[in-house]
Amino acid sequence: MSSVEPQRLTDCLWLAAHDSLDGKPRIGEWSLGVGLATGMLGELIHNNCLEVREGEIFRADGSNCDDPALRPLLDKMAAEEASWPPTTASATPRPRAPVDPHAGWEPPYPPHHGADWPTQAFDTRAWPTQPAATSPWPPTPGSRYQNAAPPEHTRHRKRGHDLRKWMSYLAYDRRAETLVVDRLTRTGLAQRQERRRWVGGSTVRYVPRDSVVAGTPASRVRIAVQSGRGLSRMQLLLAGLFLATGLHHHALETLSPLERSQLADELKTGLDDMSRELLRTADAAIGEAAMR
């Protein structure tokens, strides 16, 4: 039995998704892939290697990461940037079109297919835009909604990577999962399991090495909520990924309605802007795939 405990966001998500009697994932391949892709980007943001703004990923100048699961992402982004044609920033930024304060607003993404929890009474997960009563539009001077926008003098001067395309790229063909599982295997948290079939050769899969450790990430989130302790930054994003991927039906099933409401409130106030954008994009990618 391994005594090592997961310390990274995507490791925790993968283990929580495989916290089952047979080691099979509790959610579908695409949902897990999108969740892991989101978690990997979140780890890079936490390490100050990336920024996410307005649907684009910006690699930090001189960013370096020794993590074997994350380093390939930065290398590929750097190679992609090297193939871009050179751009010349204009001396004067373009004026932004005025926003009609009376214009209607529609949710930018279709509803998530598994979003039957939280209920409408305390819906929602923290990443959608706040209700009009609490977030007036246009933003009032000095508000956090106004400050969340990039400064005018830097807007669109630097080209970024498309967030949705990168998320889909990492989720497709289990690219994100392959990188995460390799890291988990190196640290002794996952093991290779081969099963022989009567016909057709054998199958290979990876399962948690320790079932107790696999259940630790979700149980820590539940205990923190039930005891009234605040969640850490990583735990907040992990809870958001539980909701976006549909894993909350298993990982958070023992929370009472009041505790679910408290978690929803903490997600509303505790997530930073880049984490919100990651979760919005993940929720859309999973929801759109379910509607096809």
List, for residues 23-47, the tens digit of each pLDDT value: 899 999 999 999 999 999 999 999 9
Q: Does residue 144 sit within a domain?
A: no
Q: What pLDDT is attached to residue 102?
A: 45
Q: What pLDDT is attached to residue 140?
A: 46
- Tokens 């004026």 sit at which residue? 95
Q: What is the pTM of this model?
A: 0.77
Choice among 86-95, 175-184, 242-251 with the minimum mean pLDDT: 86-95
- Tokens 């009376």 sit at which residue? 102
Q: Does residue 123 sit within a domain?
A: yes
- Count of the separate structural domains present in the chain: 1
Q: Does residue 175 sit within a domain?
A: yes
Mind listing the pLDDT tens digit for each residue in 282-291?
999 999 887 7
Q: Does residue 199 sit within a domain?
A: no
Cis peptide before 110 (omega within 30 of 0): no
Q: Does residue 65 sit within a domain?
A: yes
pLDDT band at residue 127 under the 50/70/90 scheme: low
Q: Does residue 77 sit within a domain?
A: yes
Q: What pLDDT is attached to residue 88?
A: 61
- Domain range holding 52? 9-86+110-133+155-194+204-291
Q: Which residue has the higher pLDDT, 50 or 153?
A: 50
Q: What is the Cα–Cα distance from 71 to 103, expressed in whole angstroms?
A: 43
Q: Which residue has the higher pLDDT, 20 or 197?
A: 20
Choice among 64-68, 116-120, 189-193 with the minimum mean pLDDT: 116-120
Q: Does residue 128 sit within a domain?
A: yes
Taking 70 as the threshold, does the pLDDT of residue 231 lie above it? yes
Choice among 5-14, 102-111, 260-269 with the minimum mean pLDDT: 102-111
Q: Does residue 99 sit within a domain?
A: no
Q: Mean of the pLDDT values across residues 215-233?
A: 95
Taking 70 as the threshold, does the pLDDT of residue 138 lie above it? no
Q: Mean of the pLDDT values across residues 134-143?
A: 45
Q: What pLDDT is attached to residue 291?
A: 78
